[in-house]
């Protein structure tokens, strides 16, 4: 039976908010321009056990795994890993081939999941992350008076909630994608430099060409 484990990542997108206490009311006052409500990424592990052997997994088990992937709507941003006590290369290759149909590569290592993997079985783990902004919108401050010159609790809720809803891979909010070493400017100017460095088509001069044809002649009598 598929098993799902759920845990929350702490300290996501930690910001120095510079929160101080108000001398008169004792309520926190955010005097920075950073919003108090920040996106929080939650990670859930879903598991599925398949029967395996020295030759990998059978065609029947591959169909079961495919059906599970379809029911889970496997998509970009999901992480697929394998927990195999036998560490069989054939099993890993068979599972990787099924996951490849969904454009997913099998990751190295597997998270700790509940339950024991039975002998002769391998556990496929889907790690799925979601992003949200708890507590937004925050209309707890009903007064327009702000003697602390602080930022409102609802400040940034709309922007951060939209970011959490639109990000394709919530894991990017924790650790961004690794760069290629090239800046956006250097990449975008490649086509421009190629155009500028191209020699003009008329630099070698005009080619001579002949328009020769058959001669027409006749004697006028």
pLDDT digits (tens, 9 = 90+) for 134-147: 999 988 877 777 77
Provide the number of structural domains found in the chain: 1
Q: Is residue 43 part of a domain?
A: yes
Q: Is residue 107 part of a domain?
A: yes
Please give the residue that has the higher pLDDT: either 24 or 201.
Answer: 201
Q: Is residue 216 part of a domain?
A: no
Residue 16: predicted pLDDT = 38
pLDDT digits (tens, 9 = 90+) for 69-115: 999 999 999 999 999 998 999 999 999 999 999 999 999 999 999 88
Range of the domain at 73: 3-173
Q: Is residue 178 part of a domain?
A: no
Residue 161: predicted pLDDT = 95
Query: How do strand 121-132 and strand 40-51 relate by DSSP bridges?
Result: antiparallel
Q: Is residue 39 part of a domain?
A: yes
Q: Is residue 180 part of a domain?
A: no
Q: Is residue 214 part of a domain?
A: no
Q: Is residue 221 part of a domain?
A: no
């Amino acid at each position: 039976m598929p098993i799902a484990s759920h845990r929350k990542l702490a300290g996501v997108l930690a910001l120095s908010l510079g929160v101080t206490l108000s001398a008169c009311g004792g309520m926190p006052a955010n005097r920075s321009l950073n919003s108090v409500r920040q996106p929080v990424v939650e990670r859930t592990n879903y598991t599925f056990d398949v029967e395996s052997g020295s030759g990998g997994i059978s065609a029947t088990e591959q169909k079961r795994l495919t059906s599970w992937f379809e029911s889970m709507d496997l998509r970009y941003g999901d992480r697929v890993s394998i927990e195999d006590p036998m560490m069989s290369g054939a099993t890993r290759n068979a599972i990787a081939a099924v996951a490849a149909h969904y454009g997913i590569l099998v990751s190295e290592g597997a998270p700790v999941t509940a339950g024991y993997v039975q002998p002769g079985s391998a556990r496929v783990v889907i790690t799925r992350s979601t992003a949200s902004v708890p507590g937004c919108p925050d209309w707890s401050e009903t007064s327009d008076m702000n003697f602390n010159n602080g930022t409102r609790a609802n400040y940034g809720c709309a922007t951060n909630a939209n970011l959490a809803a639109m990000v394709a891979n919530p894991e990017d909010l924790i650790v961004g994608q690794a760069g290629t070493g090239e800046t956006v400017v250097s990449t975008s100017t490649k086509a421009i430099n190629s155009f500028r460095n191209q020699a003009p088509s008329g630099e070698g001069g005009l080619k001579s060409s002949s328009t020769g044809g058959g001669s027409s002649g006749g004697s006028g009598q």
